[in-house]
Amino acid sequence: MKNTVFTGAATAIVTPMTKEGVDYVTYERLIEWQISSGIDAIVAAGTTGEGPTLTDEEHRELLKFTVDKVNGRVPVIAGTGSNDISYAVDLSKYACEIGADALLVVTPYYNKATQNGLIRSFTDIADASTKPVILYNVPSRTGCNILPETCSVLADHPNICAIKEASGNISQIAKTAQLTEGRLDIYSGNDDQIVPVLSLGGKGVISVLSNLLPAETSEMCHSYMRGDVEKSRRMQLDYLDLVDALFCEVNPIPVKAAMAAMGYGEDYLRLPLTPMEDKHRENLYALMRKAGLNI
């Protein structure tokens, strides 16, 4: 059995920005708050962290800053995926060198791949890595789906330890769990499916919601693992409307608005992303207040 990178909730952390670049003062405050709130891991430069619009220099600087500031207190998972596999290999090597605890590698987007292409691509990245690799399946964004049978093949690689499953297809996730049991950890990639994925043997969630509610999202996972399924189920349903609001526009548009309202930086995104529409913003804020957030 491969070592599990984390159990519970990992925050797919936002990258606070201004028009001048990454706001590291705010980012450090956010990291400290996440850790003090009991988050189980941090994912840097993923989708929610606007990894695709970071320059190569910014991407590397952000990963190193995160590793240095976290300083071993929780695992740091570096987003190193790309549609250019040679670039993903180079970035993955760098993340390993600076001390990231694991890599999160998305399927190639736009140019996509066959299942054979996915196997070869992930294998090349995993071969180059000295740290555990978490596959990231999010076909709504990439146009590319990792099939359960492909997961089963990849699970035999000693460095491929887990998958972040954001397909939304519970039947597919169940099949992946069946074919890879004991060889590949599964994390929910959707905040509205945390408990369903846990019920299939999942280890937790890589979460957007936990940017706002790190303690609560972690508790949702750990209460289930302690056997308090009813509490976990209740929390899943209680936060469902807030989760829907966080995804009513393309992620990370809503969560950037939410974090700005909480005092964590500007509501600034890089094109093609634009600030949240007013008609959605007020509903999001109302649901945040309902969840007990002081904004």
Catalytic residues: 136, 164
Neighbouring-strand partners of residue 186: 163
Instruction: Say how far apart CA 232 and CA 224 lie, in whole Å.
Output: 5
Q: Do residues 66 and 39 touch, judged by C-beta distance below 8 A? A: no
Distance CA 160, CA 41 (A): 18
Tokens of 144: 């590319």
Distance (Å, rounded) from C-alpha 165 to C-alpha 205? Answer: 9
CB 167 within 8 A of CB 138: yes
Q: How far apart are the first and last CA of the chain?
A: 44
116 φ, ψ (degrees, to nearest 5): -65, -40
Task: Identify the burial level of 182 via C-beta atoms within 10 angstroms of its C-beta, where 0-12 means exposed, 13-18 middle and 19 or more buried.
Answer: exposed
Residues linked to residue 21 through DSSP beta bridges, in sequence order: 18
